[in-house]
Amino acid sequence: MKAKELLKKIYEEHNLEKEDLYIDKTRGFVVIKRTGIEKIQFQNNIKANFELIAYRDDGGCVIKCTATREEDYVETFSSATPKNCTNKFLVETCEKRCLGRAIMKLCRIYEQGEVFSSDEIENQPPNTLN
């Protein structure tokens, strides 16, 4: 399945709305925002557990997320540091990143490429992906 077909399927199956996506026409990818990630999570009855792996004096951290849906299971990690995060709530940002990665892995959204969660894109336009 091509990326456009996969995105259309995800969009329709999870009742996503235009506001749940960010389409970067210049760089050629689609971002599922936090609102879309949470819709996908709840509609698929996905449970997520988080574990703080590392915390630094500057607030930087690494979090592990274990996500399950029926018999499917994924683990993934995320990080947030003052160098890769523009807001001051690093732990919360790290958790959000980790959840997005876990949901997209569990639902096999990454397989075709060109579709990402909002916190995986470098050089994001300000205030467009939250």
Contact 108, 101 (CB under 8 A): no
pTM of the model: 0.79
Q: Is the pLDDT of residue 30 over 60?
A: yes
Percent of the chain topping pLDDT 70: 82
Q: Check residue 15 and give its pLDDT.
A: 93
Separation of first and last alpha carbons in the chain: 28
Q: Check residue 126 and give its pLDDT.
A: 39
Q: Check residue 115 and give its pLDDT.
A: 54
